[in-house]
Homo-oligomer: A and B are copies of this chain.
Amino acid sequence: MHHENDAAGEADANPHNLLPTNRIEALCDGVFAIIMTLLVFDIRLPDSPPDQLAITLRSVWTSFLGYVVSFLLLSIYWMGHRSQYQLIRFADHNLHWLNLLFFALAGMIPFSTGLLAHYNDQWLAVVVYGLNLILIGVALYFHWRYAVGHPELTDGPLPPEVVRFGTIRCLLAPVCYVVAIGVGILDPRISLFAFALVPFLYIIPPLQRMWLHLARL
C-alpha cells in the first residue's frame, strides 16, 4: 500500500501524492524564456527604401514599446512564480494543472502584445491584452491559495504574514491592470503607458514597501 503511494500510476489519481517541483520549475523557465524572447519577433520592419531607415524605425516604435512592457510584466509573473517555489517543496496533481493553466495563459502574451501593438488605437485590443494579463495573475493567485492551503506542499504551514504578502502580491498587478484597461477604453493610445507603470510597483523597493504598508492597514 505504501509502495503504491509512491507510484507514478497514482501520482494523478491521488491528490496527496507529492512529487518534487524541479520539472515544474524547468518547464516554467523554458516557457518564460521562449515567450520573452519571441516577443521581439513581433517587431517587424516594414519594407521601405534603405534611405528611410530612420522613418521605418520610428514606425516600429509602438511594437518596441510593447516588447519592453510585456517583457517587464512577464518578468513580474516569473518572479512571482519563482518566489512561490522558494516555499513550495512538493507538487500534487492539482498544483501541476494549475501550473499548466498559468503557462497556457502566459503563452498567449505574444499574441495579445502583437494585437495591442498593431491595433493600438482600438479599445478592444487594450481589453484583450489587459484581460490576458489579469487572467495570468488570477491563475497565479489560485496557485498560491492552493499551495498555502495544503501544508504538506510547503513542509508545514506558512506564517500568516507570508501568506498574506504572497496574496497581495498576486492581486496587486491584476487590480492595476483593471485600472489600465479603464484608461485604455477612454484613450487606447496611452493604455500601454498605463500598463508600463505597473512593473515599477514591483521593481522599486520603496514603492514595494509602500503598497505592502498600505495593505497592512
- A residues within 8 Å of B by Cβ? 3-4, 7-13, 15, 19, 23, 25-27, 29-41, 43, 45, 50-51, 53-54, 57, 67-68, 71-72, 75, 78-79, 82-87, 93-94, 96-97, 100, 103-104, 107-108, 110-111, 114-115, 118-119, 121-122, 124-125, 128, 158-159, 161-166, 169, 202-203, 205, 208-209, 212
- Assembly stoichiometry (copies): 4
Q: Which of B9, B100, B103, B161 contacts A162 (CB 8 A)?
A: B9
Given contacts A37-B34, A111-B43, A202-B12, contact A96 B122 (CB under 8 A): no
Q: Which of B53, B86, B203 contacts A97 (CB 8 A)?
A: B203
Q: How far is the CA of A118 from the CA of B125 in the complex (A)?
A: 23
Q: How far is the CA of A96 from the CA of B189 in the complex (A)?
A: 31
Q: How far is the CA of A124 from the CA of B64 in the complex (A)?
A: 17
In the complex, the answer to whether A122 meets B162 with C-beta atoms within 8 Å is no
Give the Cβ gap from A138 to chain B, nearest Cβ, in Å.
17
**Which residues from B are CB-within-8-Å of A26?**
25-26, 29
**Which residues from B are CB-within-8-Å of A83?**
8-9, 11-12, 19
Q: Output the nearest chain B residue to A10 by Cβ-Cβ distance.
A: B165
Q: Output the nearest chain B residue to A110 by Cβ-Cβ distance.
A: B40
Given contacts A35-B37, A37-B34, A162-B8, contact A205 B110 (CB under 8 A): no
Q: How far is the CA of A166 from the CA of B162 in the complex (A)?
A: 37
In the complex, the answer to whether A108 meets B8 with C-beta atoms within 8 Å is no
| Pairs across A and B, CB under 8 Å, 5 listed | A9-B164, A12-B83, A12-B205, A37-B110, A40-B110
Give the Cβ gap from A188 to chain B, nearest Cβ, in Å.
10
**Which residues from B are CB-within-8-Å of A10?**
162, 165
**Which residues from B are CB-within-8-Å of A71?**
100, 104, 107
Given contacts A115-B45, A162-B8, contact A13 B122 (CB under 8 A): no
